[in-house]
Structure 1
């Protein structure tokens, strides 16, 4: 399977979630199942069935996180030479040439994308238009609202 790019912060967040699931959620749900079992008849025991369902979700999420981490290629942009070019992990400040509005995005892995937090997926149309370009370049980005022309005003290697 191909390696999937991930920032250091993205890997850290997944590891923290994994530790939480394994160290807190898994033991809590196992205890809830044991307690519900003590209440007798399991066929009509709603607490037991709810705990078992929750256990399934937790185990599924643990497997999903472990799979993502095993396929991750962690890229620390702070250790890469600053060339002024847009690469995975960089934070890019753009100026909309029509409105003079400034926006700032960090290019991250698919799993880390959060547009409200200014993190866009490396596979998104904006990121694809930006990668490989440099400070001062003008790029056309196709958005749902049509073509938007941006100037790249800054490319930063922020951790």
Structure 2
């Protein structure tokens, strides 16, 4: 159970509502935990991408594969920067009474970082599959991976949010 779930459960059981500063603190803790998970994945992937350029087969890549590689490395670097940004915000702005703004900004950064991470993963899949499969099949599979991320990371949460809003409106 996450920190946020525990706080919500405690608030519901006690019948009291979560104070605004408690909610901001809980949401901030959740964002930092989510950031840790996303950062680990993007950093491992980015490290892999950086090492590819130093392999013997890298010189054999065609123009398309080199372009995919360069684009993917740039996306990976951007994802790394955006996903680490909430930590920097926290370090530089602690004690400035900006918790609500930090939570909102960090949330937007996380969504941006996840978009960049999905693009980085899809680009990496395309690069790898393009080496071992026929061009069109590699592109279709990489596109399918990108679609899968869009469904899991964006469409599903938005659908659940919409359903929750309908339940709250009818209650």
TM-score class, shorter: 0.3 to 0.5
- Structure of larger gyration radius: 1
| TM-score (ref. length: structure 2) | 0.37
Structure 1 or 2: more helix by fraction: 2
